[in-house]
Structure 1
Amino acid sequence: MNFETKSADGRSRVRSAALAGVRGLALALISLPGAVLCFCLTLVSIALVPIGIGIVTTPYVLTGVRAFADWRRLLAAEWCGVRIPRAYRPLPKDANPWARTFGMLGDPATWRDFRWLPVDMTAGFVTALLAFVLPVYALEGFVIAAGLWRVLPDGYWYGFVPVTGQGTALLAAALGAVLLAPSLWLTPQLLRAHFRLTGAVLGSGDGELAERVRVLTETRRDAVDTSAAELRRIERDLHDGAQARLVAMGMDLGTIEALLEKNPAKARELLAQARQSSADALTELRELVRGIHPPVLAERGLGDAVRALALRLPVTVEVDVDMAGRAEAPVEAAAYFAVSEVLTNAVKHSGADRVWVDVHHTEGQLRVAVTDNGKGGAEIAAGSGLAGVERRLGTFDGVLAVSSPAGGPTMVTMEIPCALS
């Protein structure tokens, strides 16, 4: 049994290293040209601001840089569980090019992105590529011994072994075997180091604490404004709906009381009408309560509430929940309504016919990922539903990341720090 456990651990380590190596190669091949392109475009666009051209181009370039950084934040959370906060200042939806350009240039997060790009194209590229190169180099020793040595040029060295024939090729294989074990351990660590380096640059700065306080202040203010608007909506719905029906039902009952002896048939007709009014008022009250706090959320928890929400949608939704307990009620409510908004956006705007929702709790984070197979193009813009979701999560120190390339798919990832009961 002990041997089987060790064998399973070994296979798991090999799979983990292989996956980290492939991901490292993909990062190296994509991130280097992406970082170089973003850096050069940003530099040129900002240089053109004094002559007016940069006023038009800079917002688009910086939006692309932010999307590139958000993509890396998403991969960091997906692949290594490294959480990199997103703290861009919101811009008015109707801002003119001048206001957008200088609003984005005045955001400290913009300059953190700009500092990160040269780091990503140098140290970031090296750490990502090493995650692929180390295990491949260890395996090269075995390939040399298997016959590759015959086609190698004269004077080829594998490490400190000069490969000149079958004997030295076997020495190369022995050296490869020595290098293989540490490379299997180092490869995932290098990938994690790549994302930790990304997080250190994107999330660093002398004004980080002040910026965090500013973001939290804004989200708290947004939460107060949202609560006030919600109270006004509830009051309006009660006044125009259930309250009006109850008043009408009271009037009907008064009329019935007067008609009981004089016109029983009319009284019975009004009684049926009053019964229907009471049923309608009860339905409206239930809908109102469901909008405030769904009963299934209070009774069954976030997982079952999301499943119930998915059943009411006109598209196929697959829900996967992995939670060993329940979060606090306010956190569950925030996550539920955030998922509801994201699913509504997917149904209305993405053109998707299938949606996947993954809810799980790990390392003190409630993490929800909503993926659809729609046309893509979703973004966190001021006044959009996703901006509202970001503000809702920010109230609980949560974060939102969106990956939505043109043509799809769209993946919205939400994280809220919390503990489970």
Structure 2
Amino acid sequence: MDGARVRDALVAGARGLALSLTGWTVSLWLSLAATLSIAFIPLGVGVLTTPPVLLAVRAHADRRRLRAERWAGIHVPAAPYRPLAPSRGRLMGRAGLTRRLLADPATWRDLRWLVVDATAGAAVAALAPGMLAEGLFGVLLAAGLWRPVTAASDGSYWYEFVPVSGQGTALVAGAVGCLWFAAAVLWNPTLVRAHFRLTRARLAPTAEAELARRVVRLTETRRDAVDASAAELRRIERDLHDGAQARLVAMGMDLGTVEALLDKDPEQARRLLAQARRNSAEALGELRDLVRGIHPPVLAERGLGDAVRALALRLPLAAEVTVDLHGRADAPVESAAYFAVSEVLANAAKHSGAERLWIDLHHADGMLRVSVTDDGRGGAVIGAGSGLAGVERRLGTFDGVLAVSSPAGGPTVVTMEMPCALS
């Protein structure tokens, strides 16, 4: 028998035992506590007890989502919980929090999952350690190392469907125990995955809830996109007015003066022509920078990978870029990803105190993923007014997400994801 499969069966048995015990204890007691707390709301006691109980239910559900990902590779989507805005006053604050929690459909979904987890979910998970235990009992019977306390007066007893009355029948029981072991090796990982599939079926948001969440998110990101576009247009107008336009106006005045001085003072006219030439060169450079800020030529010509490599070359610190993109995304997606990466790199160079950066771009499962890692001091957060908040808004326009892991002392890992297809 394959050693790796035996090891997987034993690990799955231990995980099944943990899941079943958690279902029969934590899920069951939280379900009872939530039921009693909600029932006692009319008496006033439930107003005080319901919020902590329901928040504990959410934390328990989040832990189960994490275990599903780690133990079975099954992704359970995060719950679209409604935000819990703080309320003033102790008692009124608890009452408002209770009302908001109970008005959230995700709360009732979690409570329904608790009941399933404490019954069917725990039963499915318990089958994995149960088969291992049955197999162990059969082998111990055959070896004479264990005897049930329920033996009859003549010393006989039953193991499964086998009446054990002597060494011969004990060996039959051992053979049945080996079959249980074989079944455990074959089915234990599947049983654990079945438990988590049941968890996903009960905890994952419904299609209606997911659609409502996406509508709210797209409404917010559309407003942010409109504001960002207006701000970008104002920036372009300001740059043109203060930069290239001013230089072109000065150049026109110099050329007018040159016309008047060609016959009277040719030397001064030559100096003004040289100055006009410098102004035209500077105006052209500013226009090129402005165009590059709107849509970099390298992005249009070479794609996102080379555009990010060009960004990394301009950084004041060492950077390593890894690109695994077999094709190109739509131009708006590439542009959003480019400027998001540009903002993250600028933040890292300016605020992280890092000496080195690692940038990884790849596309998998219909998602464009970009991660930027630095060896700086850490402490980066997504907050109002921060550059990362602007990145989050930019990605949100394309239904993308931003995640930041930045413990004190570093390292900082910024991960960006956007759904897209590559041509």
TM-score, normalized by length of structure 1?
0.65
* Coordinate RMSD, CA, aligned: 5.8
Tell me the equivalent position of 2:187: 182
**2-side partners of 1:27 and 1:377: how far apart?**
35
Do the aligned partners of residues 23 and 167 (structure 1) sit closer, same or farther apart at CA in structure 2, a change above 3 Å counting? closer
- The answer as to whether partners of 2:368 and 2:418 remain within 8 angstroms in 1 is yes
- Deviation (angstroms), 1:321: 2.3
1:245, distance to aligned residue in structure 2 (A): 1.1
Alpha carbons of structure 1 residues 132 and 315: separation in structure 2 relative to 1, 3 Å: farther
Give the 5 Å matches for 1:92-107. Answer: none
Task: Verify the 8 A CA contact 1:369 1:414 in the aligned structure 2.
Answer: yes
Q: Which residue of 2 aligns with 1:279?
A: 281
| 1:116-127 → structure 2 map (5 Å cutoff) | none
Quick one: percent identity of the two aligned structures? Answer: 54
Give 2:272's match in structure 1, choosing from 270, 273, 278: 270
Q: Deviations over 1:139-196 (max 9, x none)?
A: 999999999x99987669999999x999977875564344324345555666666566
Distance 2:7 2:347 in 1: 37
Tell me the residue number matched to 1:395.
397
Residue number in structure 1 paired with 2:340: 338
Moved more, 119-128 or 364-373: 119-128
Once the two structures are TM-superposed, the CA of residue 233 in structure 1 deviates from its matched residue by 0.7
Distance 1:20 1:372 in 2: 37
CA spacing shift, 1:264–1:158, aligned 2, 3 Å: farther
TM-score by length of 2: 0.65
Q: Distance in 1 between matches of 2:200 and 2:253?
A: 68
Residue type of the alignment partner of 1:182: W
Q: In the alignment, does 2:226 pair up with 1:221?
A: no
Match of 2:152 in 1: none
Code of the residue aligned with 2:227 in structure 1: it is D
Letter in 2 for 1:267: A
Bigger radius of gyration, 1 or 2?
A: 2
Highest relative contact order (Cα 8 Å, sep 6+), 1 or 2? 1
2:369 aligned with 1:364: no
2:413 paired residue number:
411
1:221-264 Cα distance to aligned partner (Å, 9 max, x none): 22111111110110000000111111112222223333344433
Report if aligned partners of 1:74, 1:413 keep a CA contact under 8 Å in 2: no
Q: Aligned partners of 2:333 and 2:348: how far apart in 1?
A: 22
Q: 1:106 to 1:180 in 2, by over 3 A?
A: same
Of residues 373-382 and 125-134 in structure 1, the stretch that sits farther from structure 2 once superposed is 125-134
Which is worse superposed, 243-252 or 232-241?
243-252
Q: Report if aligned partners of 1:141, 1:174 keep a CA contact under 8 Å in 2.
A: no
Find the aligned partners of 2:160 and 2:339 in 1 and give their Cα distance: 57
Contact preservation (8 Å) 1:141, 1:173: no
- State the SS of the aligned residue for 1:402: strand
Q: Identify the residue that residue 315 of structure 1 maps to in structure 2.
A: 317
Q: More displaced, 328-337 or 133-142?
A: 133-142
Whether the aligned pair in 2 keeps the contact of 1:359 and 1:367 (CA below 8 Å) is yes
- 1:315 shift after superposition: 3.2
Task: Check the 8 A contact 1:20/1:188 in 2, yes or no.
Answer: no
2:121/2:199 contact within 8 Å kept? yes
Equivalent pairs, count: 395
Q: Please tell me whether the aligned partners of residues 87 and 212 of structure 1 are also in contact (alpha carbons under 8 angstroms).
A: no
Partner residue of 2:250?
248
Aligned twin of 1:6: none
Checking the alignment, whether the CA contact within 8 Å between 2:109 and 2:202 is kept in structure 1 is: no
Q: CA deviation at 1:293?
A: 1.2
> How far apart in 1 are the matches of 2:118 and 2:318?
40
In 2, Cα distance between the equivalents of 1:127 and 1:375?
47
Contact map agreement 1:398 1:417 (CA 8 A) in 2: yes
Question: Cα deviation per residue 1:120-153 (whole Å; 9 max; x = unaligned)?
Answer: 9897799999999999999999999999x99987
State the distance in 2 between where 1:150 and 1:12 align: 26
Asked if 2 retains the 8 angstrom alpha-carbon contact of 1:138 and 1:177, the reply is no
The residue type paired with residue 223 of structure 2 is R
Write the distance in 2 (CA, Å) between the matches of 1:253 and 1:377: 55
Write out per-residue CA displacement over residues 10-32 of structure 1, whole angstroms, 9 at most, x where no aligned residue.
9999999999999999999xxx9
Q: Report what 1:212 is aligned to.
A: 214
